Structure 1
Amino acid sequence: MWALVALTLWLAILFGLVSPQLIEDPLAWHRHEMLFGFAGAAIAGFALTAVPNWTGRLPIAGRALAGLSGLWLMGRIVPLTTAGHPVVSALLDGGFHVVLAFVLGREIVRSGNRNLPVVAIIATFGIASTLDRFEMGGVFEFGATGWRGGLALVVMLIALIGGRIVPSFTRNWLASQKFEGRLPAQADRFDLAIMVLGGLALLSWLALPGSLASGWLLLGAGIGHTLRLARWQGWRCASNALVAILHMGYGWLSAGLMLLGLAAFDLVTETLAVHALTTGAIATMILAVMTRATLGHTGRPLAASGITRLSYVLITVAAVARVLAGLAIAPSHALMAVAGAAWCAAFALFLLEYGPMLWSARLNDHRVAGT
């Protein structure tokens, strides 16, 4: 829902339908809400769903879950009100992910699970959100470290979690189709090397943005992730939209890193590269994981409906249009309007189809089987 609300408000300001004075520094607000509000909520949803599976413990529910949701919502609303003091807004906004990391970390430690790095990323993401809010409010100057750091962390999270689920789901589907060739392998030293290279490239982008060293590292990381993606044989999954869209999302990550590298050589703008990572990789992966997880956790068959496929097409149109808008090959405002409309339509379709699934009881196994 926030994907719709936040972007609609941004588009209304961008196209002069409402006064830009409605929000102090609308561009910074848009960037922050898309990254820490929208993507931050999706990360929380993924983690709260995944950790019980990782640990075998009960999920966070009841008052604890309501409290977390309320903290996230306050982080969205308070900065828009007269009571939204920069320090208060920053602590509320970043505090959500820090508290979430503490809650999840407690579950992982008690179970002896190995996924503490994911919790560390979530906690650091909360700190990055706080830094960005401080900078937005003029409290401190961090040289854009907040939003850059937040984006780098989400990219690393996609590389980490995507590196597990994309080949796994691909392998499972190919095996179900009696595929006789070589199946995608589990992560090995090659994958680890690409992860390390990607991390170093993003660190160089944070420490030395626009430098030739960061440019070469980012290009190398993008190529490395492309090779990693090729090992997962996504072209064999074109007939399964739920799997194919995961490959598409990871492909945007590779493209975004390479574009970010090219931006260091002034061949493209950094804004173009950032939108390839955000509207492309992050939004596509969020939609892909949300649809698949909702079907699985509500007891439904893992099959993409026509509405789901259309939402995948629309989010891809949104990403392509927004990236093309940065190339100045067509009127940028027209392309941004197309991107905004496609984005809103994609998430509206998700709400239309998956909202009722999430608001109702899980289907019984006999209903799923159609008996």
Structure 2
Amino acid sequence: MNVFDRLAAKPLFMCSFRPFFLVTAIYGVALLLGWLGFLAAGVGVPAVPGGPIVWHAHELVFGFGLAAVAGFVLTAVPEFTSTAAFGRRVTIAMLLLWAGARLAFWLSGAMGSMGEMLAALLNSGFMAALVVLVAPRLWHDPERRHLSFLWGLAAMWLAVTGFHADVLRGVYPMPWVLAGVGMMMVLIIVALSRVSMRIVNDALEAERLRRAAQYTDGRTGGLSRRPDEDDDELLDYRARPPRRNLAIFGVALYTAVALALPGSAISGWIALAAAAAVLNLLNDWHVGRALLSRWALMLYTVYWSMALGYALIGLSLLGVPVAPSAGLHLLTVGAMGVSIFGVLCIAGRTHAGYALDTRPWVQIAAVAIGVAALVRAASGLPGAAAAGLQAMSVVAWAIGYGLAAVFLGAVFVRARPDAGTGCEEVMEDVDAKA
């Protein structure tokens, strides 16, 4: 057995999500700590075309964000389409392509036009490979129920390619990063509509059991409520396509208009419309006490971050004295950061053969990432102590994803503890504290 085969045989490469989710958490910490060093102490960051802000934004969206996207779709698409899992060699090849794209972009400034071309080929090539891998399975699925993933990935490919095309022709490329943020929001809506169906309905079932136990225990104590009261509140949750599609349309429309007419009042009004569409999507989530469960509430806050982010962006474009970065960071640090953390915890553990983690670190990490988003957004308000708030945001983010790297990393590098042999969800009851 050669070195490559020995590496591929490790549990880390059993499924695509394992290495990609692990590097997502690690890179998320390293990237933001590097940015804090630049902000607080002037520590150098890679000299890429466009400058430090472009490096930071590009790597947050197209590095950290797309690592999580790759891990999710390479695992979820075979499950959704009832096809075989992508093999270990595909996983390693895609991971090396992602890492090569990161290195090439970091060195693109120092290497000149040759480095810029290499970064363009590897970054665009990574997205192209992802689309090519999943497109046949999504397209040939008899009901084509998950084609929205394909359109979202194709649009993200366009954003990555547009960024590097502008770099190669000497144009400031940041608008394409902002377009990438919009496409990330679309992919989050599409992915969470699938994940939330299970999470919210599990919370509803737990609430039904709690009420049934309460009724049974209290029958001799004069409890007057019948077990079927309030059943309307506990109907199964459905992520209804009309509301989801309206939210996707609103976000996509704002992204397209902002790319074509940056800074315009028109894009400001459309950003407010996108915020309203996301808030409308939340009407499906109002399921009573079950919403307060750990996982359902975490995913619920993702949509609030998204809605408030677009609202602040819209108000800023219409003249309200708040920096556009306030809304933008609610989208990236808030909606993207919390949703990726949630997917790492939920899909990462269950597809590795573990029950959902019940330990306190999950709440601590989730709250830390949420605080990072709120504090970073607050730094864009008039009169705010921007430097101090930005530093606090980075520290909170590093705590959240640092905990994820430690506790989830231990899961991703180990063999499954259940009867499963691949990427399927947990096959039997296992220790939720492992």
TM-score, shorter chain, exceeding 0.5: yes
More moved, 196-205 vs 234-243 = 234-243
The one of 281, 285, 295 equivalent to 1:232 is 285
Which amino acid is 1:294 matched to?
G
Amino acid at match of 1:49: T
- Contact 1:87 1:134 (C-alpha < 8 Å) held by counterparts: no
- Looking at structure 2, the residues matched to 31 and 234 of structure 1 have their Cα atoms a distance apart, in angstroms, of 36
- The alpha-carbon deviation at position 156 of structure 1 amounts to 1.3
Does structure 1 residue 2 correspond to structure 2 residue 27? yes
Which of 14, 35, 42 lines up with 2:39 in the alignment? 14
Q: Please say if 1:152 is aligned against 2:194.
A: no
Instruction: State which structure, 1 or 2, has the greater radius of gyration over its C-alpha atoms.
Output: 2
Alignment partner of 1:349 out of 399, 403, 415: 403
Could you report, residue by residue, the CA deviation over 1:153-192 in whole angstroms, capped at 9, with x for unpaired residues? 1111122222343354213321332173333334143443
Give the aligned residue type for 1:3. G
Query: Alpha carbon RMSD of aligned pairs, Å?
Result: 2.3
Q: CA deviation at 1:239?
A: 4.4
Match of 1:255 in 2: 308
Match in the other structure for 1:43 = 69
Paired residues, what number? 369
Gaps of 5+ in 2: 1-25, 212-230, 419-426
* Whole-angstrom distance in 1 between the partners of 2:65 and 2:158: 15
Q: CA deviation at 1:120?
A: 2.7
Answer whether contact 1:318 1:338 (CA < 8 A) is retained: yes
Deviation at 1:247, TM superposition (A): 0.5
Aligned-partner Cα distance in 2 for 1:100–1:247: 28
2:115 aligns with 85
CA distance in 2, matches of 1:351, 1:190: 34
- Contact 2:185 2:251 (8 Å CA) reproduced: no
* Aligned twin of 1:331: 385
Tell me whether 234-243 or 210-219 shows the greater mean CA deviation: 234-243
CA contact (8 A) 1:209 1:264 kept: no
- Quick one: distance in 2 between partners of 1:93 and 1:246? 29
The runs of 5 or more residues in structure 1 that have no matched partner are: none
Partner Cα distance (1:352, 1:20) in 2: 26
Counterpart in 1 of 2:370? 316
Aligned pair 1:203/2:233, yes or no?
Answer: no
Higher relative contact order (CA 8 A, sep 6+): 2
How far apart are 1:343 and its partner, in Å?
0.6
1:102 to 125, 129, 132: 132
Residue number in structure 2 paired with 1:119: 150
- Report if the CA contact (8 A) 1:131-1:142 is conserved: no
Asked whether the equivalents of residues 162 and 250 of structure 1 are also in contact (C-alpha less than 8 Å), the reply is no
CA distance in 2, matches of 1:366, 1:191: 33
TM-aligned CA distance change 1:153 to 1:21, over 3 Å: closer
More deviation, 214-223/247-256: 214-223
Task: Flag the 1:142–1:115 CA change in 2: closer, same or farther, 3 A.
Answer: farther
When residues 240 and 17 of structure 1 are mapped into structure 2, their CA distance, relative to the original with a 3 A threshold, is same
CA contact (8 A) 1:152 1:202 kept: yes
